[in-house]
């Protein structure tokens, strides 16, 4: 087991908030401490496990880094808990720490899956991920979104990877922004649930990030609407899932992935609910990872294996890298929203 040697200031704190994130300045100050501590504990855990992380976890850290950058506001001084320095300094330390984790982890990821690494290494670049800006029009649809196309086949991880590599220019065509009609037949179909919908969403997110708008069926405005529509459908699925008992880590992983993409990376505030944050915080173990004690993972469970996701050392409680990564991205979204609220509080005062 390798350990990351780095000087990093960690905060310790406690759980909070049960109402809307934007209602009480004092509560939001406490909530900010809670989110920072949870996020940093997770980063420290992943830092200790750098030689066991896979590419999806590292790309998730880059997404989180983009959220941290978006949360970094140029206020004269935004304090956090007494004696722990300014928020700006703490966010800068987190971003630097992520850089160190990624740098140390990449050789191990390449050694484990060199072809997969070469195909998706673009996603590990610091400048690749940019979080969506918030504005008054950045809201979900009130009605279910539909492409109007029947589902032709299930979206498997292999099919998704094939379509994503064509966008990245590492697929068979070796040409960036290749949008194959067979990929659109899959990605622009209705009726998907769970991870299949987040697969769809990731495809259109990459189209946006890579600016692949030259294909007849893809235009910038339309792509934005598709992303909004998919997140609207995902929000309903996440809402339904939150009303269940959460079937162990498998449902936790999906629920946090839904929040990570739509709430964290894409900035749809409807996903950043305080009760959903409380769920996420309750799933974090003392080690900093996210999982469920005594949960069972079977081959027939429907859980997405996520590029040979590996169990991490957590004292035997079944921590997995992907589950922790989507939790970290989700927390990044809550961090950004809470910082924005705190900035407003300071301006009011």
Task: Give the chain's count of helices (H) and strands (E).
Answer: 11, 2
Ordered per-residue pLDDT tens for the chain, 349 residues: 443 443 343 332 222 323 356 556 777 888 999 999 999 999 999 999 999 999 999 999 999 999 999 988 655 455 555 456 678 888 999 999 999 999 999 999 999 999 999 999 999 999 999 998 776 667 899 999 999 998 878 898 899 999 999 999 999 889 999 998 899 999 999 999 999 999 999 999 999 999 998 766 667 788 899 999 999 999 999 999 999 877 666 788 999 999 999 999 999 999 999 999 999 999 998 889 987 543 444 333 343 444 445 566 654 456 778 889 999 999 999 999 998 887 776 655 5
- The residue behind tokens 């009303």 is 243
pLDDT of res. 298:
37
Dihedral (Cα; 105, 106, 109, 110), 10-degree rounding: -150
The CB density around residue 293, as the number of other CB atoms within 10 Å, is 11
Alpha carbon 32 to its chain's center: 18
Strand-pairing partners, residue 284, are 290
Closest by CA to 9, choosing from 89, 118, 72, is 89
Span 85-132, pLDDT tens digits:
678 888 999 999 999 999 999 999 999 999 999 999 999 999 999 998
For 344, half-sphere exposure in the C-beta direction (CA atoms, 13 angstrom radius) is 13
- Extract the tokens encoding 291: 């999982």
Name residues whose C-beta falls within 8 Å of residue 233's C-beta, 6 or more positions apart in sequence. 144, 145, 197
């Amino acid at each position: 087991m390798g350990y990351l040697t780095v000087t990093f200031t960690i905060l310790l704190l406690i759980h909070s908030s049960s109402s809307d994130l934007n209602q009480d300045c004092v509560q939001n100050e406490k909530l900010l401490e809670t989110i920072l501590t949870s996020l940093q504990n997770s980063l420290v855990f992943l830092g200790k496990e750098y030689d066991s992380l896979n590419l999806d976890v590292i790309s998730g850290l880059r997404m989180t880094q983009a959220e941290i950058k978006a949360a970094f506001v140029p206020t004269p001084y935004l304090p956090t808990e007494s004696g722990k320095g300014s928020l700006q300094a703490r966010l800068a330390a987190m971003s630097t720490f992520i850089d160190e984790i990624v740098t140390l982890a990449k050789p191990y990821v390449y050694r484990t899956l060199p072809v997969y690494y070469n195909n998706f290494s673009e996603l590990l670049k610091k400048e690749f991920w940019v979080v969506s800006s918030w504005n008054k029009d950045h809201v979900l649809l009130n009605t279910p979104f539909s492409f109007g196309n029947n589902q032709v086949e299930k979206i498997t991880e292999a099919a998704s990877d094939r379509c994503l590599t064509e966008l990245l220019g590492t697929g068979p065509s070796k040409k960036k922004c290749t949008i194959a009609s067979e990929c659109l037949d899959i990605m622009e179909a209705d009726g998907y649930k769970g991870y299949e919908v987040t697969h769809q969403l990731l495809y259109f997110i990459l189209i946006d990030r890579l600016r692949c708008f030259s294909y007849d069926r893809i235009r910038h405005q339309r792509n934005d609407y598709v992303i909004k529509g998919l997140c609207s459908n995902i929000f309903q699925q996440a809402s339904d899932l939150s009303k269940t008992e959460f079937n162990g880590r498998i449902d936790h992983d999906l629920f946090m992935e839904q929040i990570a993409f739509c709430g964290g990376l894409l900035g749809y505030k409807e996903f950043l609910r305080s009760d959903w944050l409380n769920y996420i915080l309750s799933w974090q173990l003392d080690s900093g990872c996210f999982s469920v004690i005594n949960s069972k993972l079977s081959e027939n469970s429907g859980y997405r294996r996520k590029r040979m996701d590996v169990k991490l050392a957590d004292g035997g409680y079944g921590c997995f890298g992907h589950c922790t990564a989507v939790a970290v991205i989700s927390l990044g979204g809550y961090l950004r929203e809470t910082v924005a609220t705190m900035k407003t509080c300071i301006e009011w005062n």
